[in-house]
Amino acid sequence: MSLTVSQLHVTVEGVEILHGVSIDVAPGSVHVMMGPNGSGKSTFAYALSGHPRYLITSGKVNVDEVDATHLRPDERAREGLFLSFQYPVEVMGVPVRQFLRTAYEAIHEMRVDPVAFSQLVKKEMSELRFDPSFANRSVNEGFSGGEKKRLEMLQLSVLEPRYAVLDETDSGLDVDAIKLVAESVKRAKARRTGILLITHYPRILEFIVPDQVHVVIDGRIAQSGDVSLAHHIEEHGYELFRS
């Protein structure tokens, strides 16, 4: 049982961006995908999510034993796959609490008691040090960058997916916000969620020890290893992998 991506080739507007990327994320493990800007990291995330602009031309995506390669985004979510966006969008007029309950009911294909669900959201917001009033605000409307990322961590906590792909969740955050994201990742790991954390800075790894690190260069995995690989990148950059 794992999120298994095998020899994934992805094109965007007719141009191949990924050239055979493979990765295997087990439940309760944390994998980190690193690479410079333009290396194909976000393309990989969007392809996994089922974004129609990112065309999988060959290869396979399996969520546990389900072939999710050509499933719609909502079908992938119901199979347990979660994606946090690098640039979360605003959803005007939809309160956070309503958004979370609608998403939970759609993914789990069940109705929930609104009062009990509100208590769950309140508890998870407290863990993330969210002001309770945010539950009544429209999704991401007027939120700071840090608040948007915390809201994504709230979604991760409430929805409890089997696998989560976090696309540059640490981007642009101060050290306190990065610590909060790291705490959320560790809580998800403890709940047996498999995590793929995509980043191009190793800063968040001061607070998380990943099971494996993958370096992506020009649409390919150039090298995989333990956390020492990230420390090498912090000291020397990506030039060695380009060669």
Separation CA 240–CA 233 (nearest Å): 9
pLDDT value, residue 237: 84
- Domain ranges for the chain: 3-89+162-242
The string of pLDDT tens digits covering residues 78-124 is 999 998 876 777 788 889 889 999 999 999 888 999 899 988 888 88
What's the gap between Cα 116 and its chain centre? 27
pLDDT of residue 31: 97
State whether CATH 1.10.10.10 applies to domain 3-89+162-242.
Answer: no
Question: What is the percent of the chain where pLDDT is above 90?
Answer: 52
Are residues 32 and 206 in contact, defined by beta-carbon separation less than 8 angstroms?
A: no
Query: Residues with Cβ < 8 Å from 4, sequence gap 6 or more?
Result: 23, 24, 25, 60, 61, 62
pTM of the full structure:
0.90
Residue 176 structure tokens = 């306190």
| Per-residue pLDDT band at 242 (split at 50, 70, 90) | confident
CB-based contact 238:36 (threshold 8 Å): yes
- The alpha-helical segments, DSSP class H, found in the chain are 41-49, 73-78, 96-108, 114-127, 145-159, 175-190, 228-236, 239-242
Are residues 106 and 98 in contact, defined by beta-carbon separation less than 8 angstroms?
A: no
Q: Which single residue is written with the structure tokens 């980043």?
A: 199
Q: Looking at residue 4, what is its pLDDT? A: 97
The pLDDT value recorded for residue 243 is 62
